[in-house]
């Protein structure tokens, strides 16, 4: 179940991102893990998530895994 939560969090961040930023309304344990994996960076206040190409690629991979293709964000 933890992997599913992490995967869906990545997809939600990806789908709700505005450019290379997203709002931080997600599980803090998942965010810490993604930061440790260098997939995201967080603002000092943890209010903003900064994402890059590696994160985008992981999100697209997860979306494909769960058959959640999205024309707008891919």
Region 43-69: what's the mean pLDDT?
A: 92
Q: What is the mean pLDDT of the chain?
A: 90
Question: What helix, strand, coil percent values describe the chain, rounded to 5?
Answer: 50, 15, 35
Mean pLDDT calculated for residue range 51-62: 95
pLDDT number for residue 72: 54
Q: What is the pLDDT of residue 46?
A: 75
Cα angle 3-57-69, degrees, rounded to a multiple of 5: 80
Q: Report CA Rg, the chain.
A: 11
Write the pLDDT tens digit of every residue in 15-36.
Answer: 999 999 998 889 999 999 999 9
How many angstroms separate the CA atoms of 53 and 66, rounded? 20
């Amino acid at each position: 179940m933890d992997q599913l939560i992490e995967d869906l969090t990545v997809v939600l961040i990806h789908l709700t991102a505005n450019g290379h930023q997203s709002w931080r309304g997600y599980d803090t344990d998942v965010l810490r893990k993604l930061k440790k994996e260098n997939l995201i960076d967080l603002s000092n206040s943890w209010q903003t998530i900064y994402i890059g190409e590696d994160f985008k690629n992981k999100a697209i991979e997860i979306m494909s895994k769960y058959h959640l293709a999205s024309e707008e964000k891919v």
